Amino acid sequence: MRYNRLGRTALTVSELSFGAAPLGSVYGAFAEQDGIDAVHTALDLGINFFDVAPYYGATTAESALGRALRGVDRDSYLLATKVGRYGAADFDFGAERVKGSVTESLDRLGTDHLDLIQCHDIEFGSLDRIVEETLPALRELQQAGLVRYVGITGYPLPVLGYVAARTPVDSVLSYCRHTLHDRRLAGWKHRFATYGTGVINASPLAMGALTARGAPDWHPGSAELRERCAAAAELCGAAGVDLAKLALQFSVSTTHAATTLVGTHDPDDVRRNVAWLAEPMDRELLIRVEACLEPVRDRGWTSGRAAVRGPGERA
């Protein structure tokens, strides 16, 4: 396992990190012991960064992660959660609410501090309010020792860049933006580096689209995107390779981000993902998959309120 510094913070994160959203059953039910075993397996294999949010499973992911980490040396892992999003349409970036949210998260996670607190999906809020109220409130918690660093998350890259340009943020979490079909995060490398902002690359499998199973019913991608990803999965399957393997290898090996975040509640998935990173990538297969996905290259979807998506964002 390789480790990288997250921006200008003092956090050294594993190149592969653990997304705890599945611990909230957002991708289906699972046995809690499997989730606990997945967390412990990740730790045993050198993964040290765990990301969660109150939104995942209506707080159940945080509670499950807290139970999994009970008794584990707090200095052996880094813990990140979020504020501001609590339901599909429940957003509150007010100062008092986010402060209370941090306190609640600390209790569910069974810890006295968070290594990183993040404003969750900022494209659904007022960017002025996030800059002028939310982030200052979180900096107060930083001064009080409850959080070590403060970041933002979201889908539209111009929105993340806009906020990072207006006020210092320690990290940005960008999802589905450094994958086999969408590589627009790379275009922001130098800008975020100039700001001193660390980058977390999330969802290299494009929320399930770049897997043999395919995109879930709720996936926001277009029909053409789903079809092309399914075709890529068939192409890989014919070659005896899991599309998810190629997608993960590509995303981790080519990203400028400090860490790539992958969600799971299965210890076998953790072992498989770590093993995949140690194997060479099939370059010839990559060329064929890239050709298959070329018609949907750098095409995504819209997210958030239209007024705050930012200029230059193409679905």
Separation of first and last alpha carbons in the chain? 34
120: number of CA atoms within 13 Å, CB side? 24
Our CA dihedral for 257, 258, 261, 266, rounded to 10 degrees, sits at 140
Looking at per-residue pLDDT, the higher value among 305 and 206 belongs to 206
Average pLDDT, the chain: 95
Tell me what pLDDT residue 160 has. Answer: 97
Catalytic residue positions? 56
pLDDT at 305: 86
Residue 252 backbone zone (phi > 0: left; psi -120 to 50: alpha; other: beta):
alpha
- Confidence category of residue 27, pLDDT binned at 50, 70, 90: confident
Question: How far apart, in whole angstroms, are the C-alpha atoms of residue 33 and residue 204?
Answer: 26
pTM of this structure: 0.95
- Residues 6+ away with beta carbon under 8 Å from 100: none
Q: Give the C-alpha separation, 5 to 137, whole Å.
A: 25
CATH of domain 3-208+251-280: 3.20.20.100
Least confident of 2-6, 26-30, 256-260: 26-30
Looking at residue 312, its pLDDT comes to 42
